[in-house]
Amino acid sequence: MKITLLLVISFWFLVLGSGNSVLATGNQQEYEPAPDFTLSDIEGNEVTLSELLETGPVYMECWDLACVNCIDELDALLPVYDSLKERGLQIVALSVDKPSDEARVRAFVKSKKWPYIVLLDQQQKVKKAYNIIIKPTAFLINMQGEIVYTHIGYKKGDEKRIADEMGKWLPEKQKEPEPKGTEPGQN
């Protein structure tokens, strides 16, 4: 009886607790749609998720100044971002700090020299729309606006698994064109 109950619980945990937001339908996978939103970035510009997705996939991480693991993950993703940005990857750092912390967030991001798009979710509307409870929580959103990967928490080394997931959703690196007037294989 106990073993059967443990097996049932384990099965449901595996089905419901996977890293991907997938709905199985026959041979095709359907992914959960990512709620669209518009927020201000730290420079005061309005940024809309659906417009970002026209350029490439988005990895969006929810963070705040008090979350050491969030900051560690965003720092650890710098080399990953540098290696994948030319293939269209965009990283959004979604700050859920209070409005009174806006100046501190700006100064902190500037000191970190993060190249990411840093958005201010001061009213936590996006945090609520994505049902984020634990920080850091991150979502990889493909160009069709679907959540294809979810990452909760952070420990050193997670960036490798995150990079692997990102790579699945990016176009292959484009070949450099041959210089004009040369034939391939000529010196």
**Two tokens at 186?**
């000529």
Is 129 within a domain? Answer: yes
**111 is written with which tokens?**
């000191």
pLDDT (tens digit, 9 = 90+) per residue, 2-25?
Answer: 443 333 333 333 333 335 444 444
Domain CATH number, residue 67: 3.40.30.10
By three-state DSSP, how is residue 180 classified? coil
Crossing angle for the helix pair 68-76 and 158-168, nearest 10 degrees?
60
Site of tokens 């996977």? 18
Coil/strand/helix, residue 28: strand
Q: What is the pTM of this model?
A: 0.78
Q: Give, for all 187 residues of the chain, the pLDDT tens digit.
A: 444 333 333 333 333 333 544 444 445 678 999 999 999 999 999 999 999 999 999 999 999 999 999 999 999 999 999 999 999 999 999 999 999 999 999 999 999 999 999 999 999 999 999 999 999 999 999 999 999 999 999 999 999 999 999 999 987 764 454 555 555 555 4
Strand 90-95 to 117-120 pairing? parallel
- Residue 1 maps to a domain: no
Q: Is residue 174 part of a domain?
A: no
Number of domain units in the chain: 1
In-domain check, residue 8:
no
- Domain of 77? 42-168
Instruction: Report the distance separating Cα 176 and Cα 132, nearest Å.
Output: 41
Residue 151 lies in a domain: yes
Tell whether 149 is covered by a domain.
Answer: yes
- Does 58 fall in a domain? yes
CA-nearest of 123, 126, 122 to 36 is 126
Domain-embedded: residue 78: yes
How far is residue 170's CA from residue 138's CA, in Å, rounded to a whole number? Answer: 17
